[in-house]
Every structure is written in structure tokens, then in C-alpha cells.
Structure 1
Amino acid sequence: MKTSTAPSPAFAPVKTQRAFEVICEQIRGELAAGTLKTGDKLPAERDLATQFQVSRSALREALRSLEVAGIIRNVKGARGGAFIQSAEPDRIVQAMQDYVHLGSVTLEELTEARIALQDVIVRLACVRATEQDLQDLEAIAEKTKRVTGVEERYQCAVEYYEVLARATKNRIFGIFVDSLSAILHQFVQGPEYETLQETLIQSRLQLVKHLRARDADAAAEEMRKHLGRLHRHVRKNIKGPLAGG
């Protein structure tokens, strides 16, 4: 934890029935401007309430909302208070899951987005993957042959996609890949998935060969076929909003 030595955020008085929302917007605005940074401590509740010219209850509602959103964390004790939280990718993953489960996104839309995303990932990996990345991908594919059970093999698949995303050297891809893996987890099951595994494992090993050859077109095509096979499997197991009409 730290106390920022940068200029203090300048909060304006709030005059609205939805005061807590305006407070949240102002604090987010200070984050966007760089006035508030990870680890910074917000002023005490009394001082914040005075700056915003709101009741302590309205201020606390705003702080609770920001805490739920993962923007601040409240620390108790003599040195406690409200601190700006570091970024937590897991919160983004959960938010995307909630959006899919509550919204009208279909499996076709999700698959289309996943194919497009993985196309970019494998093309970047063709350029940026290190020898260690390639060895890790091969090791995971070989490990999948040795483990048994749907869950164990699915976790190997998740790890494979994570390493592939890591090979792009762009952390944002890792967040998106984790989100999609979490959403599809519940639909990857049953003896059919076990039967499909042999084909998927060979596909992953073939993909590494294309990456080693720096053949982006072949790698992208292998991934497209790979995800197409998974799509057909998930289609048989899917229920709920993702199933579409």
C-alpha cells in the first residue's frame, strides 16, 4: 500500500438522487486521467463526503459499488481505508461469463468470435513464439495423451490455449482466451469428448509444427478446423441462452 505524492483528485459536489453513480463516475474519471493509480489511498470517508457534498450513506454506497467492481479494496485497521485495487483479469472473465449467460449470445456467435480471435493469436504466435513456448505446447499435447478423464484433459486444453496466447506476448489475448474457456467448460463433457480427444491432440501437435515452420496460413487453417470439431461437440451438449433459437 502507498500514499500517492501526485496531485490529489479534485472531486466536484454532487447534487442528484443517484449520487452514488456520479461519485463512481468521478472516481473512475480520476483513474482514467491518471490522478489516481493502483495502491493509492482515497481520502477518509468524512473528507470525501465533504468534497462531494453528499451523505455518508451515499458515499458508502458508491464505495461498495466500486469494491464489487474490483476498483477499490477496503482495508480495516489503523492504517486501513479505501485503496485503488490492481487489475484482476478474473473479474473480466466473470463479467464476460455473466454477459453470455444473461444475454442473447448464441453458440454460433461465440464460435465465430473464437475462430477470429484464435486466427489472430496463431498468426502472431508464428512470429513471436519462442522455442520455450513451442516446447511447452508440445509437452502439453503429449501430457494430454497420458491423463485420463474429461476434466483432466479439458484442463490440458485450457493450458494449451493459455500458452498459445502467451506466445503472442500480448496479455489481452490471454484474458479473452480464459473467458471463452470458462464459458465453454460446462459443455465439454461425456464419452464423445474422450473419443474426440485423439483427433484434437494430433491437431495440436500439427499446429506446433506449423508454428515452428512459421507458416501462419497453415497454422490458422489448422486452428479453424480444430475449433470446428469442438463446435460440433459443444452443439450436442449445449442448453440455455447459448443454444439460441
Structure 2
Amino acid sequence: MPTTSTESVASARAWRVVLEKIETDLLEGRLGPGDRLASERDLATSLGVGRSSVREALRVLEVMGLLRTGTGSGPHAGAIITATPQGGMSALLRLQVAAQGFPLDDVVATRLVLETAVAEALANMTDPTLDAAHAILDAMDAEELTPAEFLVLDAQLHLALAEASGNQVIAATMAGLRTAIESYVLAGVERIPDWDAAATRLRAEHCAIVAAVSSGDAQAARTLIHDHITGYYAAAALSRPSA
């Protein structure tokens, strides 16, 4: 008997039933990081869906970074909930950025919220780990850097500070926005009449931000990173965020 359109729609949506079940189990504490999911056969039987729908749901969860799967038998086989889904979150943001799903002004405003919070959090730490940030600052001092190379390091510095804050959500968000950040700051180079002078100013601002963080001056760190971000947009005539 031919499959009806209603049956086709139901089949196409069946994998969502699996996702919703796993989400509910996570929210209610029946599943957690490191736990193994039931077998495909058991999930299909208990939820009344086909095994192909279970496999589709598991693929979605794996792409999202919430699940890892292994074949064969043993402790690493099957589908296991992961404890660090940052990679999936970053990947989803990068896809949205690639599809031009975020207006530039929204990216700018989000950076201001996240990075001022990062600066304050780092400044309030007793001994923040800033080795990666210092290494990037040293790399940015190289005279032979092209504007593109300099600005890639610039984005790496901001991501390194986010990672040093220890806030995994902020770090994942910054990683996901990194492509967008690199793209628009590079687009702004053409609008800056004296790039060498601008690069010198950016180096000084970066050093001042890291110094304020290291000295524990949270207010100065917040102000410096806010002015650093908005200042570049103003100089490049890209955006004038009000936040």
C-alpha cells in the first residue's frame, strides 16, 4: 500500500519525539554527562518510532555536541551524553554567521555584553591564567604582519580572554562568533586611512586591557574593552553601538 502524505509527515517528525524524550530525561535528571543511552532498538520500541528515526535524532545530537557515539562493544561503544557541548554550540553559531543570520549591530552589541563581563570576571580573579593572551600580544608585535594576519590574532586574543574567564558558555559563544568578528574587522581596514597608526593604537589598547585585568582593576578593564570595541567601529565607520 502506498505511503500517505500524513504517514510521511509523521515519519519525518518521529525523530523529534526521540529528541524531546532525551531532552526531558536530561532536564529531569534521569540522564547526565557520561550516561549511556538505551540501544536504538530499545528507544525505538519504547517510543513507538522506527530505528531510522532514532538514528536521525542521534546524529542531530552528535552534531550539536551533546552526544558521542562509538561502534562495537565495550565501555566506549553506544551513544553517550557528553559533558562539554561547547563545540556543537560554536558550530551552530558559525553556521548562522555563514548564512548571514545575524545583523552586524547585533554581533557588536553581543560582543560588548560578553567581553565587558569577561574583563570584569578576569579582573576579579585572584590569579587569572593569561599565558595565551600574552603569547598573542607578543605575536602581534611582529612588524611584518599584514592587516589580515594582525586582525586574525586580534580575534584570537579576545577568544583567549573569554576562555581564560572559565565561563564555558561565553567562550563557546565567542568561538562561534569568531568568523563574524574576523570578517567585519577586516572589512573595516579599507576604511581606515592610516593602518599603521591604527595598529599601533590597537596594540596599546590590548596591552592596557590585559594590564588592567592583571592588576585587578575591574572597572578599568570593562571601560577599556568597551572603548576598544566601539572605537574600532567608529574608526572604520562600520557601526556605532550605543551599549
TM-score with structure 1 setting the length: 0.74
- Structure 2 residue corresponding to 1:200, chosen from 189, 199, 202: 202
1:164 and 1:187 map into 2 onto residues whose CA distance is 20
Instruction: Report what 1:60 is aligned to.
Output: 55
Tell me, yes or no, if the aligned pair for 1:129 and 1:167 is still in contact at 8 Å. Answer: no
CA, structure 1 residues 85+139, in 2 after alignment: closer, same or farther (shift >3 Å)? closer
- Structure 2 residue corresponding to 1:38, chosen from 33, 45, 48: 33
* 5+ residue gaps, structure 1: 1-15, 239-245
CA RMSD of aligned residues (A): 3.0
- Structure 2 residue corresponding to 1:124, chosen from 93, 103, 121: 121
User: Aligned-pair distance for 1:104?
Assistant: 5.4
- Structure 2 residue corresponding to 1:149, chosen from 140, 146, 150: 146
The yes-or-no answer on 1:140 pairing with 2:136 is yes
CA, structure 1 residues 156+40, in 2 after alignment: closer, same or farther (shift >3 Å)? same
1:1-245 pair list within 5 angstroms? 18-79=13-74, 80-102=77-99, 105-128=102-125, 130=127, 132-133=129-130, 137-146=133-142, 148-189=145-186, 192=192, 194-195=195-196, 196-232=198-234
CA, structure 1 residues 211+40, in 2 after alignment: closer, same or farther (shift >3 Å)? closer
1:156 and 1:213 map into 2 onto residues whose CA distance is 23
> 104-113 vs 199-208, which deviates more?
104-113
User: Aligned-pair distance for 1:136?
Assistant: 5.2
> Which amino acid counterpart does residue 151 of structure 2 have in structure 1?
Y
> 141-150 vs 218-227, which deviates more?
141-150
User: Aligned-pair distance for 1:87?
Assistant: 2.5
Tell me, yes or no, if the aligned pair for 1:129 and 1:168 is still in contact at 8 Å. Answer: no
Deviations along 1:2-29, one digit per CA (max 9) or x if unpaired, are xxxxxxxxxxxxxx65322111100121
User: Aligned-pair distance for 1:120?
Assistant: 1.5
TM-score with structure 2 setting the length: 0.75
CA, structure 1 residues 47+210, in 2 after alignment: closer, same or farther (shift >3 Å)? closer
SS of the aligned residue for 2:69 comes to: strand
> Which amino acid counterpart does residue 180 of structure 1 have in structure 2?
L
> 44-53 vs 146-155, which deviates more?
146-155
> 42-51 vs 160-169, which deviates more?
160-169
Tell me, yes or no, if the aligned pair for 1:20 and 1:62 is still in contact at 8 Å. Answer: yes
Deviations along 1:92-125, one digit per CA (max 9) or x if unpaired, are 1121233345465321222122112222221222
Identity in percent = 24
User: Aligned-pair distance for 1:182?
Assistant: 2.5
Deviations along 1:171-218, one digit per CA (max 9) or x if unpaired, are 332222222323222233356595332111011112233334433332
1:61 and 1:209 map into 2 onto residues whose CA distance is 49
> Which amino acid counterpart does residue 136 of structure 2 have in structure 1?
I
2:153 and 2:50 map into 1 onto residues whose CA distance is 52
> Which amino acid counterpart does residue 109 of structure 1 have in structure 2?
D
* 5+ residue gaps, structure 2: 1-9
Aligned residue pairs, count: 221
User: Aligned-pair distance for 1:168?
Assistant: 2.9
